[in-house]
Structure 1
Amino acid sequence: MIVLTSVLKEEIIGAFRELLPVLENGEIIKRPYTRGIIGSNEIVLVYGLIGKVEAAMLAQAIIDKFNPRYFIHCGAAGALNPERKIGDIVCGNLYIEHDVYARQGAKCEIYGSQILTEKIVDVYDKVIIGTIASGDVFVESEDEKAKIYEVTKAEVVDMDSSAMAKVCYENGVDFCALKIVVDTSEKETRKEYRLNFKKLAPFPSAIVAEMLEKHLL
């Protein structure tokens, strides 16, 4: 079983288009899910979360219900690395919460699934492999962007991936996030997001769908 999640439906539509046959529609903690087949893989698609609390809550509920082997999170992100530009696609190999300090002995950096990363690179060799930082803040200033990048050296920033990565780590589930840059995390962030989100957001889930068509996981 493979789970594919996103914040908004637009970010997961690339996989919905390839889901055939559909086996089940339902709800999990008031979020819609669809279970079906892509290639030879059984997959559950779920969307509807904002921030780290909802991301962690939904991830745990999904794991409890479906007991997946793999968990993939897709969607949009803001650039942190000054070299990243709008349209770049990043696959996380390390996940960091940039807005908290871990308690003593707690694991604050989570590594992504090497297997999922390799399969994604096999179908999309332009993907950038690197760190994804998450926090409950919408980054929209050069100073804030620079501070987070200095500490994390992350390629992109979002509000969800690292929380899901931690839940998956604690449950022994392979995790990977695939994110596309839709804004620069600077003063024009909100304008850039509005301009780029709808046209770019579906691409990561379409790449995942292609990977699932090609590979049996």
Structure 2
Amino acid sequence: MIVITSVLREEILGAFRELLPVLENGEILKRPYMRGLIGANEVLLVYGLIGKVESAMMAQVLIDKFNPKYLIHCGSAGAINEKRKIGDIVCGTKYVEHDIGFREKTVSSFKASDVLVERIYDIYNDTIFGIIASGDSFINSKEEKERIYKETQAEIVDMDSAAIAKVCAENGIEFCSLKIVVDKGLESSEIEIKSNFKRLAPFPSAIIAEMLQKHLL
């Protein structure tokens, strides 16, 4: 089984549209899930993983209940690397937490699944590969953005990927996070998110759905 997660419903729509047939609708920890097929793959979709604590909690419960081979997290993020622009698709190759006193030699990073990274590149070769930094804070200042980039060299920042990556690593589950840039982490971030989110949010999960249509994992 492959579990696909997201923070908000809009971020999982790209995969939900390809979930045929739907075999089951249910609820886990008050979050809705849908189980079905994408291509020849059995897939479970669930959203509502907000922040590091909820993301880690949900990841562990999903692993305990469904024992997936792969867990893929999709959604939106803010740019940290100045080279990144609105609409860029970023696949995390490593995941770090930026809000726990980052020190390169003492803070763990968690590696993405080589299989998932290769399959994603096969589907969308404009994907940008690099580090995703996660923390329980909304980044909307140049100073904070520059600090995080200096400490982590991350391409983008979110509130969830590193927590899920950590849980997956502890459980031996292959993981990958695929995100789309919807803001640049500056003072105008809220305006950018309102302008870009609904339009761009479904794209990462649509890429994953296309990957599952083409490949049996």
Normalising TM by the smaller chain, what interval?
Answer: over 0.9
Q: 1:6 to 1:172 in 2, by over 3 A?
A: same
Is 1:175–2:175 an aligned residue pair?
Answer: yes
Please state whether the residue corresponding to 1:12 is helix, strand or coil.
Answer: helix
Q: 1:16 to 1:58 in 2, by over 3 A?
A: same
How far 1:107 sits from its partner (Å)?
Answer: 6.2
The CA distance in 1 between the partners of 2:107 and 2:152, in whole Å, is 15
Report the counterpart of residue 72 of structure 2 in structure 1: 72
How far 1:168 sits from its partner (Å)?
Answer: 0.3
After superposition, give the CA deviation of every residue in 1:34-74 in whole Å (9 maximum; x if it has no partner): 00000000000000121100000000010000000000000
Q: Could you tell me whether the CA contact under 8 Å between 2:161 and 2:177 is conserved in 1? A: yes
Please state whether the residue corresponding to 1:72 is helix, strand or coil.
Answer: strand
| Percent identity of equivalent pairs | 65
Report the counterpart of residue 138 of structure 1 in structure 2: 138
Report the counterpart of residue 81 of structure 2 in structure 1: 81
RMSD: 1.4
Q: Could you tell me whether the CA contact under 8 Å between 2:102 and 2:151 is conserved in 1? A: no
Report the counterpart of residue 93 of structure 2 in structure 1: 93
Is 1:147–2:147 an aligned residue pair?
Answer: yes
Letter in structure 2 aligned against 1:132: I
After superposition, give the CA deviation of every residue in 1:112-131 in whole Å (9 maximum; x if it has no partner): 11100000000100000000
Question: Where do residues 4-153 of structure 1 align in structure 2 (5 Å cutoff)?
Answer: 4-101=4-101, 108-153=108-153
Letter in structure 2 aligned against 1:78: G
Shift >2 Å, 4+ stretches? none
The CA distance in 1 between the partners of 2:99 and 2:109, in whole Å, is 13
After superposition, give the CA deviation of every residue in 1:155-193 in whole Å (9 maximum; x if it has no partner): 000000000000000000000000000000001000000
The CA distance in 1 between the partners of 2:167 and 2:49, in whole Å, is 15
Is 1:207–2:190 an aligned residue pair?
Answer: no
Letter in structure 2 aligned against 1:199: R
Return the TM-score normalized by structure 2. Answer: 0.97
Letter in structure 1 aligned against 2:142: E
The CA distance in 1 between the partners of 2:111 and 2:39, in whole Å, is 27
After superposition, give the CA deviation of every residue in 1:127-168 in whole Å (9 maximum; x if it has no partner): 000000000000000000000000000000000000000000
Q: Could you tell me whether the CA contact under 8 Å between 2:56 and 2:164 is conserved in 1? A: yes
The CA distance in 2 between the partners of 1:48 and 1:4, in whole Å, is 12
Q: 1:102 to 1:84 in 2, by over 3 A?
A: closer
Q: Could you tell me whether the CA contact under 8 Å between 1:102 and 1:108 is conserved in 2? A: no
How far 1:108 sits from its partner (Å)?
Answer: 1.6
Return the TM-score normalized by structure 1. Answer: 0.97
- Show structure 1 runs of 5+ residues with no match: none
Q: Could you tell me whether the CA contact under 8 Å between 2:5 and 2:49 is conserved in 1? A: no
Please state whether the residue corresponding to 2:157 is helix, strand or coil.
Answer: strand
The CA distance in 2 between the partners of 1:2 and 1:19, in whole Å, is 12
- Show structure 2 runs of 5+ residues with no match: none
How far 1:102 sits from its partner (Å)?
Answer: 7.8
Letter in structure 2 aligned against 1:148: I
How far 1:106 sits from its partner (Å)?
Answer: 7.7
